[in-house]
C-alpha cells in the first residue's frame, strides 16, 4: 500500500502545470479578444493564464479608481468654486 500514495504537490506547481496544459491547446484569438473586451482579464483566463487575468482585472480596477477619485475631487471643487465666485 505504501507505493500507492500520491506525492504532495504545491499549489504553485499545480497552477503552472494547468497553465502549460491550457496554453498547449490552440485558442481562437477573436474569442480571446472579445472576452477580454467584454470583461477585463477574461481573455487571459480563456487562454489559461488565470493569474495574469486577475492581474489585468485588478490593474484596470485600480487605474479606474485612480482616475475617478481625482475626477470627482475636481468636479466637487468646481462646484464649490462656482458657488464661492457667485456669492462674491
Distance separating alpha carbons of residues 44 and 60, to the nearest angstrom? 14
- Which is more confident, 21 or 55? 55
Decide if pLDDT at 2 tops 80. Answer: no
Q: What is the pLDDT averaged over residues 39-60?
A: 90
Distance separating alpha carbons of residues 78 and 82, to the nearest angstrom? 6
DSSP helix/strand/coil, 49: coil
For the chain, the structural domain boundaries read 2-87
Give residue 85's pLDDT band: very low, low, confident or very high (50, 70, 90): confident
Provide the whole-model pTM: 0.56
Amino acid at each position: 500500500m505504501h507505493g500507492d500514495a500520491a506525492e504532495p504537490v504545491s499549489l504553485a506547481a499545480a497552477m503552472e502545470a494547468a497553465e502549460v496544459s491550457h496554453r498547449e491547446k490552440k485558442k481562437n484569438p477573436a474569442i480571446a479578444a472579445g472576452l477580454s473586451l467584454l470583461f477585463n482579464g477574461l481573455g487571459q483566463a480563456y487562454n489559461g493564464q488565470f493569474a495574469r487575468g486577475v492581474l489585468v482585472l485588478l490593474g484596470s480596477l485600480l487605474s479606474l479608481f485612480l482616475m475617478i477619485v481625482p475626477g470627482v475631487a475636481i468636479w466637487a471643487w468646481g462646484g464649490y468654486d462656482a458657488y464661492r465666485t457667485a456669492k462674491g
